Amino acid sequence: MRALALLALLVLLAACAGPHGPRPGAGLATAQEGRLFHCVPYARERANISLRGDGWQWWDAALGRYARSQQPEPGAVLVFNQTRRLRDGHLAVVSRVISAREIRVDHANWDSGRGAGPVHQNQPVLDVSANNDWSAVRVWYPPGNHLGSTAFPTAGFVLPRPPGTQQAAR
């Protein structure tokens, strides 16, 4: 019994020792709606982007490593700035572009309070910025089943490809 407990402990420690977070295929990318995750490891896995730090830190961390944009595309990560309400910022992966001002995202841990942690897929996000540059967005609020009233500031989109490369033709 002791050997089994020691083996389980070693397996858990080895899982935490990886230098780049969860491995592709580790299960987060296929997480079902409602399962519990934090936004950073969820976005890292879904978008296959190897960045560290809180959500708000991803914009600067991506400089020189990943392409960045003010326009959404599927697979990009929308980086929410740090605010009083979002102390760690937030990350959401673009699943679809609906129009120049509307996207759908998959993200984790958007709800507050008792609802914190679940993965929500295909959630509406609207660009409410004055210049249509995605610098301010309103996000679907699942508990109320409506679009939230707060305009959250965002830095832009981190794209899962090197800087200077274009989106692959579809």
Overall average pLDDT of the 4-17 stretch: 36
pLDDT band at 31 (very low <50, low <70, confident <90, very high): very low
Indicate whether 52 belongs to any domain: yes
pLDDT at 144: 84
In this structure, what CATH number is given to the domain that contains residue 22?
A: 3.90.1720.10
Print the SS3 string covering 53-85: CCHHHHHHHHCCCCCEECCCCCCCEEEECCCCC
Between CA 25 and CA 91 the distance in angstroms is: 19
Span 74-128, pLDDT tens digits = 999 999 999 999 999 999 999 999 999 999 999 998 876 555 678 889 999 999 9
- Residue 125 forms part of a structural domain: yes
Query: What is the DSSP code string of 88-136?
Result: T-EEEEEEEEEETTEEEEEEES-S-GGG-SBEEEEEEEEE--TTSSSSE
**Residue 146 within a domain:** yes
Residue 164 lies in a domain: no
Q: How far is CA 50 from CA 35, 72, 88, 159, 161, in A?
A: 22, 19, 18, 11, 11
Q: The domain containing residue 32 runs over which residues?
A: 2-158
Whether this model's pTM surpasses 0.85? no
CA nearest to 28, candidates 91, 107, 104, 89: 107
Return the pLDDT at 1. Answer: 56
Judged by average pLDDT, the poorest of 16-20, 101-105, 130-134 is 16-20
- Confidence check: pLDDT of 162 > 50: yes
Closest CA to 42 of 28, 30, 58, 52: 28
Report if residue 76 sits inside a domain. yes
Tell whether 131 is covered by a domain: yes
Average pLDDT (36-53) is 91
140 DSSP 8-state letter = E
**170 within some domain:** no
Instruction: Copy the structure tokens of residue 88.
Output: 């760690």
Number of domains in the chain: 1
Question: Quick count: other Cβ atoms within 10 Å of Cβ 67?
Answer: 18
In a domain, 101, yes or no: yes
